[in-house]
Amino acid sequence: MAVPLTFTSGKPPFSATPSQLTNNLSLPLTLVPIIRSKTHVSKHLIITNAAAATSHSHSHSHSHKAFVVSRFGPDEPRKGSDVLVEALERQGVTNVFAYPGGATLEIHQALTRSTIIRNILPRHEQGGVFAAEGYARASGLTGVCISTSGPGATNLVSGLADALLDSVPIVAITGQVPRNMIGTDAFQETPIVEVSRSITKHNYLVLNVQDIPRIVHEAFFLASSGRPGPVLIDIPKDIQQQLVVPNWNEQQQQQQQPMRLAGYISRLPKPPNETHLQQIVRFIKESKRPVLYVGGGCMNSSDELGRFVELTGIPVANTLMGLGTYPGSHDLSLHMLGMHGTVYANYAIDKSDLLLAFGVRFDDRVTGKIEAFASRAKIVHIDIDPAEIGKNKQPHFSICGDIKAALQGLNKILERGKKNLDFSPWKEEVMNRKASNPLSYKTFGDAIPPQYAIQVLNELTGGNAIITTGVGQHQMWSAQFYKYNRPRQWLTSAGLGAMGFGLPAAIGAAVARPDAVVVDIDGDGSFMMNVQELATVRVENLAVKMMVLNNQHLGMVVQWEDRFYKANRAHTYLGNPAKESDIFPNMLKFAEACDIPAARVTRKGDVRTAIQKMLDTPGPYLLDVIVPHQEHVLPMIPAGGGFNDIITQGDGRTQRNPILSDKDTKSS
């Protein structure tokens, strides 16, 4: 006998059996309870497509859709804001990061009527959009943030730009002044569609309330298909208030209105041609010194990548975005390449005769002097975005397509072919370089080397924590000294380099993955930029651990001052000049103000105990780790330099002379 399900709603509850509901759907169904918080499980059950819910593919994560029984009768009018919230529910959304205002009052009222969607209230809209990114990066699903018009919308700009550069699927919803007031310079009016046009994958201004179901459906598809990115939906207040009976297109047994994206869909990459894949295999067989250069595009293809490396024995160098796509603990991992990459990764790239560039974009922080980058190598480039092929570095052979499908095809060819690949002399050469040039640091008395604190955290968490960061020296040390073995373990603002990303991203990660240990490794400068989100951490009772590497300076800019500007300090000291001996500001007071346990550690000998206490304390915890500001991130290839310019020695204690001439120090 089928067990009846009761669906709670604003209307009297009604019952239906799973079989009755299934008769109207062609998808395999499973019942999923929606977890609203650690202490509350909603009685409202939704039905999701099980296959879609577990999919983390570039082109399929948008399919995380839910069969939702509406709170309204089929012909019952409801506000546009209620239509929006139900449209989000139908996309499988269970968490949003929304900060209310005049132009989104209706949306927030509608959210209170939802038994499926939980709002995590940030304390700043930038915190909300970074949290939505953290949620998306940690889960592979599309993150959702909501803000009001005008300043609320413009506070999303950094997050939208960050999501575009790092290919993160988010849908940002903004309120807008009523339609008849658009263009009149009304109170809190900003043309956010125009403002965000160049930093979103697509955006919408909703002018017809009947379009809301279709636009939401399209926005989630656009955000998560092809090369993922941010999509913005701007909704005027009168549209939110307008009464309507929405057309969900259910008479065609679909949950969504048809999309009007024929042009976009026709341009989505097709499956790779086997002839092209066979050509890549031929290149591999002809080479003597091949290297894999792997980026964030491989985030959903780590299993296929691992199998490819197993079949070929080719060493792997990762970009900052690509960390975790191949296990950092594996012998064939060369860890990170680029400006602050390992000597051995950059050596391998420089000496290679075949560069397999998978899911990467030849960013300037990776390549340095573009003509000198992999100058001896034949370059094979596979990427899902046609705009990236040949944009910065012209490949000898390229495929525009999904790297997951390409790797699956390559693996099939390799598996059925003769296993005559042997790169052992090259592997031995690279491993010797790896052994002779390890990442290292120096210790000065009782002072805490920041690298040591990260190493200890790596040991005590077994390398299994989700790590978020701000931007600067601590970010690079976290990339170097924490060993990432899984995708979606490393969440950082890579392309945009947005300070203040770490704490809100950790909030999003903790919401997406309540089972995981989430640690924000931050710098004092970055941490201060969104310190108000401590309130969100406390109120939502999120077990976010914060390890602030506090050197009282803007560390990375100080490093450049030391190296290239004769150590002249140009507004990079963040402490109180009147009391230089004090730690300022006192991070522990911020934590105390938000009722979060906190401690400070100043001696190397106390670090292990302090980090263990942070990890053992239930709920959130802030650990203020005082580190010397003279420490430099090494190795370092100066901007515009090549492998031969790599710096491996020196710090702020010894480095007082410029390495480069003024003409070479244009930007950091």
Q: Kindly list the catalytic residues.
A: 125, 187-188, 237, 556
| Tokens encoding 31 | 């019942």
Residue type, 185: D
Bridge partner list, 399: 382
650: helix, strand or coil: coil
Residue 34, number of CB atoms within 10 A of its CB = 21
Residue 391, number of CB atoms within 10 A of its CB = 13
Question: How far out from the chain centre does Cα 467 lie?
Answer: 11
CB under 8 A, 24+ apart: contacts of 301-307: 301/325, 301/359, 301/403, 301/404, 301/407, 302/326, 302/486, 302/487, 304/404, 304/407, 304/408, 304/411, 305/358, 305/407, 307/407, 307/411
Residue type, 485: N
Residues 6+ apart with CB under 8 A from 251: none
Altogether, the residues listed in the chain come to a count of: 668
Question: How far out from the chain centre does Cα 91 lie?
Answer: 20
Packing angle between helix 343-351 and helix 424-436, nearest 10 degrees? 150
Q: How far apart are the first and last CA of the chain?
A: 68
Residue 486, number of CB atoms within 10 A of its CB = 14
| Tokens encoding 402 | 């999904």
CB under 8 A, 24+ apart: contacts of 246-251: 246/78, 246/83, 246/86, 246/210, 246/212, 246/213, 247/210, 247/213, 248/90, 248/213, 249/213
| Tokens encoding 590 | 């911020």
Selection from 458, 473, 456, 439 nearest residue 605 by Cα: 456
